[in-house]
Structure 1
Amino acid sequence: MAAADMRTQQKAYAVFDAIISFDTRLAICDRLMSLEDIDEIEATMWAQLSAKLSKSYRKRHELAHFSAKFDDTGDTCIGITPFFNWTKFATRTDKVLTVLDIRERSKKFIDLHMAVGWFKDRAFFRHAGSPLPDQPEPALVPLIRALAIQRIEAKKHQSPPSLE
């Protein structure tokens, strides 16, 4: 990579890092992926991953804004209550996330992170003009690919809307 390319890349990283909003960052990534020279399957895979990222971000947000939930004795924390408020408490409609729930979400976030890295690496090698490295895919990538292929096949079998 030429020095000028590296400076341009560093500027792009600096601009991206200055953006705090997850939705804005995801919109930028979506736009960049729409400009990539990739096949229909990979484009559909990205669209699905983008939707999963957005949905998971909302679940991550619950982990950032919570109150601790204790047992009836008040001695043992049994989990966390996202977005605690007194109405939920009084009506006993507050959701409690246990340690197992949090671990499960953590695994999903890591899986998403690894899948985003896979897309990023592929874009990097495409732009560098290098062959794609032969490396194992993150666990989520084959699942997203299978769903993308199903979605593409389902579209092919849908009848076009009637003009009548």
Structure 2
Amino acid sequence: MQALNLPPFAHKLTQSGPNLLIWDVLRRRHVVCTPEEWVRQHVVHYLITHRGYPRGLLSLERGHTYNQRRKRTDLVALDAEGQPLLLVECKAPAVPISAAVAQQAATYNQTIGAPLLLLTNGLDHYCWRVDFAARSNVRLAEVPAFPVAPPPARPG
């Protein structure tokens, strides 16, 4: 598998017929290791091991409805109260993080309502803090560690 711009982890790969499978610690089963899944598993381990997100507060492929259509998020991290905290959109390494990818994630986040948004293809990562009231966002240098501090109060 392709080396990514994320910390390596002790992944468990196995072959099942023509499919390469990877052990998913959240779903507790082997899943097909597509390039996008390879990125998603790296992000899961990064959030747990390096940013302190509790495994029990991570949700993969969570369903939601947007414009009366069923959609699925790649990964959502919840806060201690069970509310969406971080929406992650993963793409395969060959897929650039474009304006269309950002629009897809922002569209999903209109119904999810997470104050943090992460877009990654495993090589390039973009993280924003979203302020829904001010209808603005601020790009962050890295994914905040858990627990995430609230944004600073706005003057005025």
Highest RCO, 1 vs 2 (Cα 8 Å, sep ≥ 6): 1
User: Higher helix fraction: Structure 1 or Structure 2?
Assistant: 1
Structure 1 length-normalised TM: 0.24
Structure 2 length-normalised TM: 0.25
User: Higher strand fraction: Structure 1 or Structure 2?
Assistant: 2
